[in-house]
Amino acid sequence: MIRVLLGHRGTLLRGALATVFATEDDLEVVAVLGHLDDILPASVRERPDVMVLDAHLPGAGGIDAVARRSSAGGVLVLSDRDLPAAASLRLVRQAPRVGLIGTDTSPGELVGAIRKIARGQTVLDSGLMLAAIRVKDNPLTDRECEVLKLVTTGATAQEVARKLCLSAGTVRNYLSRILAKTHARSRIEAIRKAEQAGWI
């Protein structure tokens, strides 16, 4: 039996996918979640074999960071074609433990991909992989990307510091390095440049 943890932002799709998985004799849905912040605690508690995660789950840290830190045997990320190429590249680099599949796949193909991930086989969507290969190198570290993503929500340096368990001074240092690396004059410009380049 393959224990599956499902994380998806859409209530309707979450329910539909959980129903599809439940009809399979060899799949057991152990958790259904709608927020990125809930994924890691649930994976520790439920010990899934495979986590099936929406690439655009709301929450801090980013889907690639959650996939990297997860204790699950494998992670299958569902993405549409607008996933930033840099995020695709970070996911592709984690193969075969992490798989990447398009949201335009059929239910049967999705179930088959879950089984492949559970067996340790590689699952990579060719279109998403091609976009990832063409991405420019991201000058920002994972932590700098985390900080910048939180800044996009309007969070202050103090709020970012609390969220990431850092000091406000450390966050300000990260922001200074981000501005230098992106050649931006302001946080807004840094966000715009990073988003356009697919770094966050």
Q: Cα(57)–Cα(138) distance, rounded to whole angstroms?
A: 22
pLDDT at 75: 94
Residues 94 and 128 in one domain: yes
Amino acid found at 30: V
Residues 44 and 111 in one domain: yes
Residues 85 and 34 in one domain: yes
Residue bearing tokens 């004059």 = 185
Residues 102 and 43 in one domain: yes
Q: Cα(49)–Cα(4) distance, rounded to whole angstroms?
A: 6
Residues 25 and 96 in one domain: yes
Residues 57 and 116 in one domain: yes
Residues 16 and 109 in one domain: yes
Residues 105 and 187 in one domain: no
pLDDT at 85: 64
**Helix and strand totals (H; E) in the chain:** 10, 5
- pTM for this predicted structure: 0.66
What would the mean pLDDT of 129-155 be, rounded to a whole number? 81
84 pLDDT tier (thresholds 50, 70, 90): low
CATH of the domain at 170: 1.10.10.10
What would the mean pLDDT of 89-98 be, rounded to a whole number? 80
Helices 157-164 and 168-182, interaxial angle, to 10°? 110
Residues 7 and 103 in one domain: yes
Q: Which domain holds residue 114?
A: 2-133
pLDDT at 26: 97
User: How many whole angstroms from its chain centre is CA 162?
Assistant: 22
Amino acid found at 169: G
Return the higher-pLDDT residue of 197 and 20. Answer: 20
What percent of the chain is predicted at pLDDT more than 70? 90
Residue 198 pLDDT exceeds 90: no
Domain count, the chain: 2
